[in-house]
């Protein structure tokens, strides 16, 4: 969405703060979705490839609806929130899924997954750069098309040979306060939350930072530079 922020601001007559609200709606949806998956145990009871495929389909649908039918902040925030919820069934579940293929090289495979996440984040900027005359809706819809392609690939590949479905646990459930009372868990969880915040905040602000530091006012040229800045993280 941030790849077409300037056009969206003009079309909906909103400020940069409005773009921030739409961006934060995705993050809140991601947090809500992650909590939903955690408390319901869905990710442990169903095959991760099926969860991934379903969430990719629903995320693509919500994303396309945002582009084609949303006409203001109320509908926009709702649909971006739902996109975030769907992402909770893609990114974390994808980490579990990729381990089922090669658990002995877990760190390398997770690094590759994060690299793909970064490249995927950058692709809408590339789409706009190469589709110079496309309206902003077309850029968003194309990203939904790519999500559908991912859905088909993951559904076709299925789960890896090392998948172990969870059995009914005999461990007593713990409350959130009890879990966060464990120092090591609290440190790692808070570190992860901060990491996600800084990463997505940086990605959202890349076009603004480039425009303000290099005096680039052409939106198409700006999208090209934004793609390069974000996508270079894939190699890292």
Residues 112-122 pLDDT 10s: 988 998 998 89
Residue 206's closest CA among 221, 224, 223, 226?
A: 226
Is the pLDDT at 223 greater than 80, yes or no? yes
Please state the separation of Cα 196 from the chain's center in Å.
Answer: 10
Question: Rounded to whole angstroms, how far apart are CA atoms 201 and 223?
Answer: 17
Any idea where the domains of the chain sit in the sequence?
A: 2-235
Predicted pLDDT of residue 170: 52
Q: Domain 2-235 is in which class?
A: mainly alpha
Which DSSP state fits 168? P
Give the model's pLDDT for residue 167.
54
Higher pLDDT, 170 or 197: 197
What pLDDT was estimated at residue 68? 94
Characterize 151-169 residue by residue with b for buried, 16 or more Cβ atoms within 10 angstroms of its Cβ, and e for exposed: beebeeeebbeebeeeeee
Give counts: helices (H), strands (E), the chain.
Answer: 11, 0
* Residue in 23, 145, 32, 31 with CA at minimum distance from that of residue 76: 23
Q: What percent of the chain has pLDDT over 70?
A: 94
pLDDT per position as a tens digit, 113-169: 889 989 988 998 898 888 767 888 998 999 999 999 999 999 999 999 988 876 555
pTM for the predicted model, two decimal places: 0.82
197 compared with 151, residue with greater pLDDT: 151
Asked if pLDDT for residue 4 goes beyond 60, the answer is yes
């Amino acid at each position: 969405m941030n790849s077409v922020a300037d056009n969206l601001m003009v079309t909906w007559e909103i400020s940069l703060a409005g773009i921030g609200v739409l961006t934060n709606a995705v993050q809140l949806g991601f947090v809500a979705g992650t909590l939903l998956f955690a408390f319901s145990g869905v990710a442990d009871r169903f095959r991760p490839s099926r969860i991934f495929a379903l969430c990719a389909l629903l995320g693509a649908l919500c994303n396309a609806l945002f582009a084609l039918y949303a006409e203001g902040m109320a509908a926009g925030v709702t649909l971006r929130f739902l996109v975030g919820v769907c992402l909770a069934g893609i990114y974390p579940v994808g980490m579990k899924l990729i381990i089922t293929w090669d658990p002995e090289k877990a760190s390398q495979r997770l690094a590759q997954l994060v690299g793909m996440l970064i490249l995927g984040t950058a692709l809408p900027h590339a789409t706009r750069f190469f589709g110079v005359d496309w309206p902003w809706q077309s850029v968003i819809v194309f990203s939904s098309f790519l999500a559908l392609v991912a859905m088909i690939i993951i559904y076709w590949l299925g789960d890896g040979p090392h998948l172990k479905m969870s059995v009914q646990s005999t461990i007593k459930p713990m409350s959130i306060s009890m879990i966060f009372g464990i120092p090591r868990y609290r440190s790692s969880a808070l570190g992860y939350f901060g990491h996600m915040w800084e990463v997505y905040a940086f990605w959202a602000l890349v076009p603004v930072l480039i425009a303000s530091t290099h005096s680039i006012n052409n939106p198409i040229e700006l999208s090209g530079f934004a793609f390069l800045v974000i996508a270079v993280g894939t190699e890292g």
